[in-house]
Structure 1
Amino acid sequence: MSPQERRASVSLALVFAFRMLGLFMVLPVLATYGQQLEGATPLLIGMAIGAYGLTQAFLQIPFGMLSDRVGRKPVIVVGLLLFAAGGLLAAGADNIQQVIAGRILQGAGAIAAAVMALVADSTREQHRTKAMAMIGMSIGLAFAVAMVAGPVVARLAGLGGVFMSTSVLALVGIALVLLVVPTPQQTQRHRDAGIVGGALWPAISNPELLRLNYGIACLHAILMATFLAIPLALAREAGLPKEEHWWVYLAALLLSFFGMVPFIIYAERQRQMKRVLLGAVALLALVQPLFWLTEHSLPWLVTCIILFFVGFNLLEATLPSLLSKIAPAGGKGTAMGVYSTSQFAGAALGGMFGGWLFAHFGLGGVFVGCGLLALSWLAIGVTMREPPYVTSYRLAVSPERVQDAGLAASLLAVAGVTDVVIVADEAAAYLKVDSKLLDREALDRVAAPV
């Protein structure tokens, strides 16, 4: 990477991390601290937990397309301003309805697609995978920090202080975008990082992608519903004061990280992605009734939380990799947009689902409902095919070569290339390649000017 590419990648990873940190800091504290708000009920607290997903789901794809027209940075800055405004609205709330409104406004800052597109604009093809990996790592790290930081900040400054912190993080993100993130010389439409209208229907109608979209919706619905119940189980049933919940999440996340790494390595190196995915979903389904049966014992409850995070983090890391393998050539960015929309819709529905179950059936009802949701995902996942072990690859092609009618056939003849889409307007070919078999020298020869 050049110094400018490193600067762009690191600063955009931080922008993404600060926003995700702000979203997730609320997750471990809202169920316990939110009960002090006027008008709070289990259903409304559940809605507050997942409300950000509602606007995020609706605006994710439109904001990505808007960034193609007006530029990446303006969309990102406006999105972060909306996020900061939502945090301020919720920070000053004395009733649960205002917190819900603040969370909805936070979700309106749907900048993920614009950030990914800016990463693509700011990096060369050979370094783009590294830049995207930095974004992925920043999301995982932000989630882990949020699980610990949320209870710590709430102990010091209350629920309002948590929301105020999210606004401060958004303002820091704006400063990074305006002062640190380099402005690319030109904005291009990258089909592997951005959303293309013509690729939307294939992304929605592909049966294998539909299974993934259902899976990520279930995963985040389970996350939101479970985190309505876990803080209450720790405080009410196991007797752990809410101010001390941070150490449970810290221990669980650290241990779950070491627990999931061998399975990720096994899935990729041994090409056993389906087996590992189904095993993680089965673990989620199993741990939910265990939550219910052991909620009165702190050691057992902590053990169940560790197992939950092993399954959750494993799926959170595996599903995007699986999507990259399944998405058609030239359609990865659009497929990721639909996937993200499904994720946030699942979060919104999961909060309401958990709140309704808790109101009618108590904590046990939440855990059983989440277990049944995981079983429905497992039943659908069993029917998936083993994915092709390929990656997306964008190949720049000279303007004269891209007009050659035989270019696609020539590229498909290269060892390791399984799918090709030629985009003349971009002077590029989008490929699906098996990296173990790919003959890169032959690929460069085919793309070179005649």
Structure 2
Amino acid sequence: MHDPHNERMSGSETRAAGGLALVFAFRMLGMFMVLPVLATYGMDLADATPALIGLAIGAYGLTQALLQIPFGMLSDRIGRRPVIYLGLLVFAAGAVLAAQADSIWGVIAGRILQGAGAISAAVMALLSDLTREQHRTKAMAMIGMSIGLSFAVAMVAGPLLTRAFGLHGLFWTTAGMALLGIAIVGLVVPRSNGPLHHRESEVAGKALLPTLRHPDLLRLDLGIFVLHAVLMASFVALPLSLVENAGLPKEQHWWVYLTALLIGFFGMLPFIIYGEKKRQMKRVLSGAVAVLLICELFFWRFGGSLQALVFGTVLFFTAFNLLEATLPSLISKVSPAGGKGTAMGVYATSQFLGAALGGILGGWLFQHGGLGMVFLGCAALCALWLVFAVTMREPPYVTSLRLPLPPAAARDAGLAERMLKLPGVADAIVVAEEAALYIKVDSEQLDRTSLEREINAAPAC
């Protein structure tokens, strides 16, 4: 029997996944390249204060959080491409506004406008439209990798580009990358046959309330909120610590971030493998949060020398990379059948809100209490998260599947109930309007033949 799961991705699917991963990467580069440089170079701008620098760092998160889910829903109505083009143009306009600014207020306005180009949900939905069921996870993973890679590149490229072209040049580069993203969507990404309604990649209105009431999903939303708040706040203080406490000129900061990111990336891999293979993801998550807390206390107490700051930054990025990779995987495991798209929408909103709060809080704490107060504030946030992380239940080790149903099976009221009796099926829901079955399965226990037999045995009516 021909198994579609052994097929390779088609040429058009590879182009779709590769093209959209590049669009994501360019946009994230533009967001993150200012992180390592704004605290040091931004103080030269008119009206700059530490609190306003913090606001400029986190400002994009406010508009991203507000518009993330509405833009995704708009793309269901008017099409994915118009929303993506509009979002990238708004993002480019924000970068141009920031590039032409002579005061910190202009940079803040530019960052707010950049964030208004909230296209993540529309890009993910277009990816679902252009890839078949059996390759969707692989395509989503390509986008996930592009986000991680763009963050790493941004940490190194930001200081190098700013050294060469100044803060204005950095924002002009960002605007250029947004326009390049438009060209990629227009010329590389294949056309789709129209929106494919798919609960694994879009927000479903009916699933929103259960998602907001789910205790373990809320713990994970708090986690990504704190993680990005701590990241943004730390980058108000860390670049300044390297200059003031360690005497490292701002033009040389790139090698610290490059070292930390490379070691951090390879350092996290054994923990991810251990967590998945041994089914100990809760232990890995709680351990990484504890390491993040220790890092912030270490920066506060021992961050007076270059060696200490480099060591702390390496440890920080090992824990950060591990958490950044682990949290979406846990959302996927914990979310109910057919609720992953909605859970990811709420999760992304929490992430951007965290980034906004972290920048604002970091700048305010620095202005009123100095560098040490920023690190202590971050440590307090990590301690709060740790309390919620250790009280989380061990997540179910399940995979989400979406199976198209024949018409008779889609009308079968008892199908989901019968599915739940099969070994290895943790959750199941039939969405009649999509003629699809969403199930969560433990692949080590699932008997695929019984699953297919149950679907095909649906009574004709």
**TM-score between the two structures when normalised by the length of structure 1:** 0.99
**What is the rounded CA distance, in whole Å, between the counterparts of 1:66 and 1:424 in structure 2?**
23
Give yes or no for the alignment of 1:437 onto 2:445. yes
| Number of the residue aligned with 1:287 | 295
| Number of the residue aligned with 2:346 | 338
1:41 to 15, 38, 49: 49
C-alpha displacement at 1:408, in angstroms? 1.3
* Higher mean C-alpha displacement, 292-301 vs 91-100: 292-301
Q: Could you give the per-residue CA deviations for residues 332-366 of structure 1, whole angstroms, max 9, x where no partner exists?
A: 00010000000000100111100110001100000
Residue type of the alignment partner of 1:239: G
| Number of the residue aligned with 1:270 | 278
| Number of the residue aligned with 1:397 | 405
**What is the rounded CA distance, in whole Å, between the counterparts of 1:329 and 1:436 in structure 2?**
18
**What is the rounded CA distance, in whole Å, between the counterparts of 2:323 and 2:159 in structure 1?**
25
Aligned positions of 1:70-149 closer than 5 A: 70-149=78-157
**What is the rounded CA distance, in whole Å, between the counterparts of 1:410 and 1:331 in structure 2?**
20
Equivalent residues of 1:400, 1:449 under 8 A apart: no
Give yes or no for the alignment of 1:4 onto 2:12. yes
Equivalent residues of 1:396, 1:447 under 8 A apart: no
**What is the rounded CA distance, in whole Å, between the counterparts of 1:444 and 1:242 in structure 2?**
61
Equivalent residues of 2:39, 2:53 under 8 A apart: yes
**What is the rounded CA distance, in whole Å, between the counterparts of 2:156 and 2:448 in structure 1?**
45
**What is the rounded CA distance, in whole Å, between the counterparts of 2:170 and 2:209 in structure 1?**
40
C-alpha displacement at 1:293, in angstroms? 2.3
RMSD of equivalent CA atoms: 0.9
What SS is found at the alignment partner of 2:338? coil
Identity %: 66
**What is the rounded CA distance, in whole Å, between the counterparts of 1:442 and 1:75 in structure 2?**
42
C-alpha displacement at 1:449, in angstroms? 6.9
* Higher mean C-alpha displacement, 404-413 vs 347-356: 404-413
C-alpha displacement at 1:415, in angstroms? 2.5
C-alpha displacement at 1:193, in angstroms? 0.4
Residue type of the alignment partner of 2:78: V
* Higher mean C-alpha displacement, 254-263 vs 409-418: 409-418
| Number of the residue aligned with 1:26 | 34
What SS is found at the alignment partner of 1:185? coil
Give yes or no for the alignment of 1:151 onto 2:124. no
Equivalent residues of 2:79, 2:194 under 8 A apart: no
| Number of the residue aligned with 2:176 | 168
| Number of the residue aligned with 1:323 | 331
Q: Could you give the per-residue CA deviations for residues 213-267 of structure 1, whole angstroms, max 9, x where no partner exists?
A: 1111000000000001010001111011100100110011001111110000001
**What is the rounded CA distance, in whole Å, between the counterparts of 1:411 and 1:429 in structure 2?**
10
Gaps of 5+ in 1: none
| Number of the residue aligned with 1:383 | 391
C-alpha displacement at 1:422, in angstroms? 0.4
2:217 to 199, 203, 209: 209
| Number of the residue aligned with 1:419 | 427
| Number of the residue aligned with 2:227 | 219
Aligned residue pairs total 450
**What is the rounded CA distance, in whole Å, between the counterparts of 1:414 and 1:81 in structure 2?**
49
Q: Could you give the per-residue CA deviations for residues 98-143 of structure 1, whole angstroms, max 9, x where no partner exists?
A: 1000000000011111111111111111110000000100000000
Equivalent residues of 2:96, 2:110 under 8 A apart: yes
Give yes or no for the alignment of 1:256 onto 2:264. yes
**What is the rounded CA distance, in whole Å, between the counterparts of 1:34 and 1:105 in structure 2?**
18
C-alpha displacement at 1:146, in angstroms? 0.3
Q: Could you give the per-residue CA deviations for residues 38-68 of structure 1, whole angstroms, max 9, x where no partner exists?
A: 0000100000000000000000000010010
**What is the rounded CA distance, in whole Å, between the counterparts of 1:437 and 1:123 in structure 2?**
27
**TM-score between the two structures when normalised by the length of structure 2:** 0.96
What SS is found at the alignment partner of 2:158? helix
